[in-house]
Structure 1
Amino acid sequence: MSAKQNILAKLRNSLIGTTPIVDNFDEGLVTRPWTYPQGERIAQLRKLMEAVHTEIHLTTDAAWPALLAQLLRDRHLPNLLIAPGTAHGQRISKHWQHQADLPALKAYDRPVEAWKAELFNDTAASLTSTVGAIAATGSLILWPTREEPRLMSLVPPVHFALLKASEIHDNFYQVQRQFNWAGGMPTNALLVSGPSKTADIEQVLAYGAHGPKDLVVLILEDQ
């Protein structure tokens, strides 16, 4: 018997003859104070995210590619990393075909080992999707995939994120129920509330130390 199996066996044996404690969990304790009318979720999310230097823009499904293009121009960013196999990556590629003065597009379409130096040293911004957000904490929910790896939201200095207004949830408990995380946690779900920041060195707050220094969220309002 391995050490792990031995420990587990002792724990199981210690429960023999005991009476389980009644589960008196009250769902309202973790939902009632952090539940918002549907029309207030955007405002709540925006208030919390802007408080930690996140930039928020309200737009629509039809207008977001043009808005993204303008934001890139305004920041003088030379390139944008996209996931070409995603629906939003294809939208951007199509929009770029009709514009002559836009930053170059980079496709995340190969193993990181094949272009690590370029990704880390010569990629100014990235665009990723989200699977929702949490109004109570002011957090985006990112769920990296093979098409859209974690490095897309971690490495480039500027991270643009797409969020559907209809996918803003009230609280974390609601999110866990929505995605049935009790039945199986995702391997790499992320909650992101703002750009990377740290005050480890002399208690001086610095942005971009461990990830993007700028987070820009495009919220697609329902039409």
Structure 2
Amino acid sequence: MSQARQNILGRLREGRQAVGAQSPARSNPASDFAPVRDRSWNAAEKLDLFQQKIESVHGEVHRISADTWIPELIRLLAEKKIRNLLVSDRKQPALELREQWHADLPQLLSYQRPIEDWKSELFNQVDASLTTSRGAIAETGSLILWPDEDEPRLMSLVPPVHFVLLQADQIYSTFYQAMSEQGWAEQGMPTNALLISGPSKTADIEQTLAYGVHGPAELIVLVLE
């Protein structure tokens, strides 16, 4: 061990002993990394808090009944002048959409091809996407997404507008509660589980906040009550 290192370690030990001598009854503080377990919000409070948190960072939340989400989606597509919507035909929401869709509505695009076959179209011509979610976290205003082969990560990353369906009864108080009640440790996790807490944003350039630089500029959550 070098003399310089010995000197540094010596000063650290002296400082620790001095602090202990000044406050002998002092106990070690609780770890800052301990999981938060003591949240007991009811369902209404969790939904209110989730909405407050995600709207504070430029996200949108629309509370609707489970049987009216398609008319609300159609209204939002028209309001935002969206020409097409990317969906996964292997997920139940897309099957419901196609039953009620008609030619006057924005085009429904299917994510069924390997990305190499339509990369240019995906990155340059798709206006919006619709994905499901695995739940949400009220404490942080975060959505939980588990991308898979049927609903790849690019669906929530590339289109400028991202619509997400969220069941109101799948909003958890904390991240710890979501992991525990959904049994993440037992059933395993995807290679890229996602927590999304708002649209993409950055202030890297001259500290000016800009949206949509690294992902969707708009995040719209349809909460099915």
Q: TM range, normalised to the smaller chain?
A: 0.7 to 0.9
CA deviation vs aligned residue, 1:114-159 (integer Å, no higher than 9, x gap)? 0000000000000000010000110000001101000000000000
* Matched ranges for 1:89-108 at <5 A: 89-96=94-101, 99-108=102-111
Per the alignment, residue 45 of structure 1 pairs with 50
Per the alignment, residue 117 of structure 2 pairs with 114
Alpha-carbon separation, structure 1, partners of 2:79 and 2:182: 37
**1:161 equivalent in alignment to 2:164:** yes
Alpha-carbon separation, structure 1, partners of 2:160 and 2:210: 13
Per the alignment, residue 191 of structure 2 pairs with 187
Alpha-carbon separation, structure 1, partners of 2:168 and 2:153: 23
Aligned sequence identity (%): 51
2:219 is aligned with what amino acid?
L
1:106 is aligned with what amino acid?
L
TM-score, normalised relative to structure 2: 0.82
Q: CA separation of 1:29/1:200 partners in 2, compared to 1, >3 Å: closer, same or farther?
A: closer
**1:30 equivalent in alignment to 2:36:** yes
Gaps of 5+ in 2: 1-29
Match of 2:220 among 210, 216, 221: 216
| Greater than 6 Å deviation, 4+ residue runs | none
Alpha-carbon separation, structure 2, partners of 1:204 and 1:144: 31
Per the alignment, residue 155 of structure 2 pairs with 152
Gaps of 5+ in 1: 1-23
Alpha-carbon separation, structure 1, partners of 2:205 and 2:74: 36
**1:54 equivalent in alignment to 2:53:** no
Q: CA separation of 1:29/1:190 partners in 2, compared to 1, >3 Å: closer, same or farther?
A: closer
Match of 1:84 among 89, 102, 117: 89
Residues 35 and 171 in structure 1, CA contact (< 8 A), matched pair in contact too:
no
Q: How many corresponding residue pairs?
A: 193
2:53 is aligned with what amino acid?
L
CA RMSD of aligned residues (A): 1.6
1:59 is aligned with what amino acid?
I
